[in-house]
Amino acid sequence: MDTIFQLTPSIIFILFFAGLVAGFVDSIAGGGGLVTLPVLLAVGLSPQVALGTNKLQGTFGTLSSSYNYIRKGEVRLASCLSGILYTFLGAVAGSWAVQVIAPGFIQLLIPFLLFFVLLYTIFSPKLGYQDLKPKLSQNVFYLIFGLGLGFYDGFFGPGTGSFWTAAYCIFLGFNMAKAAGFTRIMNFTSNVVALCLFIVGNNVLYKVGIIMALGQIIGARIGSDLAISNGACFIRPIFLTVVLLTIIRLVYQYY
């Protein structure tokens, strides 16, 4: 755990601004960690503490955007309950598994799966613009994707929001604004599980996480408002950009 860390005014501003930008992006298309993790590492946190602190500040962002999507009527919390349960169970299993199993195979596989999501979205120009007929019932959908993506987020994590958004659009026929709202609920669930694990491991720097969380709350509110107001025409290009940047980051990191 980092014990020596000086918060100068410039570092406080950088942390707050990074949280604000990440909250904005994450509330629309996921991928906020592309902004915050490099910043946390750059200011001097060790990788494990950076990951734990990132989960703390990110949890506030997903909570803020989740509340806004619910408040604006894009998400009915009652219809998320089975998804929350399965995602919670999957995240617990994933958080346990990552401590006993090397994530090497998943690290190699995820860029290819994200590339499929990118291509499918590009070549489905009407995807997310309006509600379509679902391909799966909600119970089956959450059994598969709640457990699967919950496990993945607890085990590895990058691209979880993109997978959730694509899954909601493709298999439940949601428009992108609705998919973004439901995605934030599921992200919040698995974030809480992962955060608890990092807290138990004493790998969270609270003063840094809270500063970033203040930016996250504001950014997530602004981003979710814009996503709800403008729908797929606003969300889609940001979503595609985030997926592409995540692929590039993972390929650079692991290949």
Q: Residues 155-181: pLDDT tens digits?
A: 888 889 999 999 999 999 999 999 999
Per-residue pLDDT averaged across 34-43, rounded?
91
Per-residue pLDDT averaged across 47-73, rounded?
93
The predicted structure's pLDDT at residue 87: 96
Banded model confidence at residue 4, pLDDT cuts 50, 70, 90: low
Per-residue pLDDT averaged across 73-102, rounded?
90
Pick the closest to residue 57 from 205, 216, 196 (CA basis): 216
Pick the closest to residue 147 from 186, 115, 185, 110 (CA basis): 186
Distance CA 230, CA 180 (A): 12
CA–CA distance from 147 to each of 49, 164, 206 (Å)?
26, 12, 29
Residue 47 clears pLDDT 60, i.e. is over it = yes
Structure tokens at 224: 């979710």
Report how many domains make up the chain.
1
Domain for residue 2, yes or no?
Answer: no
Distance CA 61, CA 143 (A): 26
Cβ neighbourhood burial of 115 (10 Å; 0-12, 13-18, 19+): middle
Among 29-43, 155-169, 222-236, name the most confident range: 222-236
Domain for residue 3, yes or no?
Answer: no
Residue 2 clears pLDDT 60, i.e. is over it = no
Domain that holds residue 156: 9-254
> For the chain, percent helix, then strand, then coil, each to nearest 5?
80, 0, 20
Domain for residue 55, yes or no?
Answer: yes
Pick the closest to residue 111 from 163, 75, 71 (CA basis): 163
Domain for residue 4, yes or no?
Answer: no
Structure tokens at 150: 């919950």
DSSP code, position 135 = S
Q: Is the Cβ–Cβ distance between 189 and 150 less than 8 Å?
A: yes
Q: Is the Cβ–Cβ distance between 154 and 90 less than 8 Å?
A: yes
The predicted structure's pLDDT at residue 102: 72
Torsion angle in degrees (nearest 10) through CA of 60, 196, 185, 114: 100
Domain for residue 1, yes or no?
Answer: no
The predicted structure's pLDDT at residue 240: 95
Distance CA 249, CA 255 (A): 10
Q: What is the pTM of this model?
A: 0.91
